[in-house]
Amino acid sequence: MMGLTPFSEMKGAFKAAKMAQGLEKAAGKDAAQGLAEGAAKEATQLSKEAQKGVKSLEKQIASHEKKLEEFRNNPTVRPGMENLPKDVIEKQQQRRIQHLETEIQTFKNNLQKILDGEL
């Protein structure tokens, strides 16, 4: 019988982590925490390339979430747009927010694909 590939093992580990969340309610946090720790241990089974990809995507997600938060707290106007009508400026700012949200979601989707062994 052939052994599981690291990606197949990861998929199983994340299923275990999801089960752990359900067990948290049914059996208390100790059992759930044990399964979650087992899933985390399995995460080290990713190839070096996949681990590098995961780290890179996590950095990108954090960076873009920070940009999004900062922009929402202090929306700016791009140079050269200062004299445009307010509604044009607001549409541009909303587009910037949508763009950042789309990029964050794309990074998260790609991260999940790596963890599920699809990439």
Confidence of residue 81 (pLDDT cuts 50, 70, 90): confident
Q: Is the pLDDT at 85 greater than 80, yes or no?
A: yes
Confidence of residue 108 (pLDDT cuts 50, 70, 90): very high
Q: Structure pTM?
A: 0.60
Q: What are the Cα distances from residue 56, in Å, to 45, 90, 114?
A: 17, 32, 12
Write down the pLDDT at residue 56: 94
